[in-house]
Amino acid sequence: MSERDEDFLWDVVLPAKKSSFSDIRSQKPARAVVKIFCDQAYERSFCVPLVVGRKLLVIKKRGQARISNLDELNTHIERLMDACLSQKIEDMISRKDWGKQELASKLLDLGYASTAVQARIDRLEQALVIDDRRYVELFISSKRNLGWGPNKIALELKRKKLEVPPHTRLMEIYEQDESEYDIAKRVLARKSFHGKDPYAQAMRFLISRGFSFSVAKAQALRYSQFDD
């Protein structure tokens, strides 16, 4: 459909507002739906990122552009997608560091095309704006400061689809200025257990925080003796 068609109609449907009782964490970002009509009959629909749908709706309501066929609509959508993708990436990387897979997943969930996302990420990686190795090192250091043990950090890196450094290298980063033993000691010092078996409670707590079995055992024993 390349020529103007007076019977070509389109609309944008925005998602309904989420209920205050819905679990936002379990839901992917909502998308807008572009609906195509021809000869007054519904023809087909497709999804676009929510921000793109909103901008399309503004164009339609304000009559800012005459869109009389599918080619013209696609051209507008492509331009909006490109501009919105650039703005979204700029906003995201200005706020925090990202691993490339994590950044790609976020953008794909929003509804951007995989080829466009990958092309942008490749350019960012070449320009060293994103660097998985640097990001991993920063992630290890930040989670260590929050009291995470190395095992929990390694699991979270895997969940984020980041390469986990060999154990020796991970521990070099983790123990830059403080040993795992001392970090566990500091983390445990902030806890207070009141059960019948403080050793078991301390042990479970440190293991759940990702500390090695040997470090957890040593610190739990020290804690239970002190507690007595």
Q: Model confidence over 100-145: pLDDT tens digits?
A: 999 999 999 999 999 999 999 999 999 999 999 999 999 999 999 9
C-alpha distances in Å from residue 193, one per residue of 18, 197, 227: 40, 9, 9
pLDDT at residue number 40: 65
Half-sphere exposure of 49 (CA within 13 A, CB side): 24
Cα separation, 33 vs 47, whole angstroms: 4
Cα end-to-end distance, the chain, whole Å: 82
Cα separation, 146 vs 209, whole angstroms: 10
9-52 confidence digits (pLDDT tens): 889 999 987 655 545 555 778 999 999 987 767 788 999 999 99
Q: Residue 223 in contact with residue 198, Cβ under 8 Å?
A: yes
| pLDDT confidence tier of residue 211, bands split at 50, 70 and 90 | very high
Q: Residue 43 in contact with residue 34, Cβ under 8 Å?
A: no
Mean of pLDDT values over 213-223:
94
Owner of token pair 């390349």: 2
CA angle 92, 95, 97 (to 5 degrees): 80
